[in-house]
Amino acid sequence: MQNSVPEGSNGMSEFTDLQSQQTPGSQNYGATAPTTSTAQLLQTTGKISAKRSYLAVGVLCYINLLNYMDWFIVPGVLVDVTKYFNISDSIAGLLQTVFILCFLMSAPFFGYLGDRYNRKVILSAGIVLWSGVTLGSSFITESYSWIFFVSRGLVGFGTASYSTIAPTIIADLFEKDQRTCMLSVFYIFIPVGSGLGYVLSSSVTQTAGHWHWAFRVSLSLSLTAGLPFPSHAPFFQTIDHSSTNTYFFWCDSRSFIWSSLGVTAMAFVTGALGLWVPLFLDRAQVVHDLVPPCLQEPCKSPNSLIFGGITIATGIVGVITGAAVARRYKKINTKADPLICAVGMFSSAPFLYLSIMLAARSIIATYIFIALGEFFLALNWAIVADILLYVVVPKRQSTAVSLQIFVSHLLGDAGSPYLTGVISDALHTRQNDSHLGAFRSLQYSFILCVFIDVLGGGFFLLTALHVEEDREEAQQLCRGFYVHL
């Protein structure tokens, strides 16, 4: 790969001096690399204080919580939704597919805007859109199921504005270990928000007597997301990287490509499990005669609440553990980040398999192994974001994030819920007993996730082969940029 650096002999001389000042053995890796960052530029120019930087992270974490709560409201009441609209497994899986497809199709658009225009305006517009559509979808009657599908697609469009831009704001505000720490805090709210989505939708449905009320409560929370935005918030503005003479670095970054495929495998697995596990556990309990079959909604089942609690707990512990291990291990191994991600994927696969196969014998064992499988998947959330941010130059980070979102969701959780439902329906037609057949068909369709899990681990091993070279090239481009400034 060829490096692109600012033109001019003075800039090159300063760049050479900068490299020569580094003493042997002083080099760190990953998020701790000693390069001049956007955070340093902001601090030296007096644009933002440390207090306002932490306030920005607090705002972003709160919106991230609401974002993922809205993602998983439908899976939390999937039993009720299928009864209300009278739809099959394959059609129910299509609900999440429509949401994800609209999300990923709009991500490159918002990535382009995020690299060029006011981020606060973009984020606020996205929040207003997804909040308004969420409220509107709560009034859809059972005869207009297609409108419900359209509404989920519009919600996906609105949430893309946030998911694309938020990580790059954190990358602009922090550096070294602080960036890894802040990203860990930020990504904790993915599993926490996902789990709370199950808890909120299930508990509100049981209290109010209808699943529509879960969407109305979600609206009231989403509207508060715009309140913490300060009137003058420089951390939501776009940092000017226009003078960087670089090409689209992520196109030639092999570690970015392989890590994005690893993230795709993660998305495939979490997308399928996130939609179908509560319904799978409901069917398992019916087979065990622990609960009667649900013939009319609202369906009373604790599985959404339990699975939500498991997702929250394992997510918090997993993200913190993954970030802590990465910070220590990268001091002795420059390939630590992708290797930890590979271990997380390989380790989760057998636990997910055991949780699927033991559901016919013990619900408790299923809960335990699902928790272990989710824990090892959660190790990777903050690490994969950190990999992207140190192998891609700042000017292209929003675009790179949007590209990774597009690929990972297109090939991952956009299709996995629907594919799982299609396989389940195909297998169900061959079963005799309706309740046992419904359980077995969904059980066997989950096995595909185990193979994808192992495949994702392989992608992260390939990332480890190239991450050092790509990280160094990104650091050189950044040094050249700031010397040019």
Predicted pLDDT of residue 131: 80
pLDDT higher than threshold 50 for residue 235: no
Cis bond before residue 108 (omega within 30° of 0): no
Q: Would you say residue 194 lies in a domain?
A: yes
CATH label of the domain that carries residue 197 = 1.20.1250.20
Q: Would you say residue 12 lies in a domain?
A: no
H helices, E strands: number in the chain: 20, 0
Q: Would you say residue 28 lies in a domain?
A: no
- Domains in the chain: how many in total? 1
Q: Give the least confident one: 297-311, 367-381, 427-441.
A: 427-441
Domain span at residue 363 reads 38-231+247-484
Range 6-15, long-range pairs (CB < 8 A, 24+ positions): 6/243, 6/244, 6/245, 6/480, 6/481, 6/483, 6/484, 7/245, 8/484, 11/480, 11/483, 11/484, 14/483, 15/479, 15/480, 15/483
Distance CA 454, CA 337 (A): 17
Q: Would you say residue 286 lies in a domain?
A: yes
Q: Would you say residue 172 lies in a domain?
A: yes
Q: Would you say residue 366 lies in a domain?
A: yes
How buried is residue 109: exposed, middle or buried, by Cβ count under 10 Å (0-12/13-18/19+)? middle
Distance CA 55, CA 356 (A): 42
Average pLDDT, the chain: 77
pLDDT in tens, 242-293: 444 444 444 567 888 999 999 999 999 998 988 889 889 888 888 877 776 7
Q: Give the least confident one: 11-20, 374-383, 420-429, 437-446.
A: 11-20
Q: Would you say residue 239 lies in a domain?
A: no
Q: Would you say residue 22 lies in a domain?
A: no
Distance CA 370, CA 448 (A): 15
pLDDT in tens, 144-193: 888 999 998 888 888 888 777 777 778 778 776 677 788 778 878 888 88
Flag whether the pTM goes above 0.75.
no
Q: Around Cβ 21, how many Cβ atoms within 10 Å?
A: 8
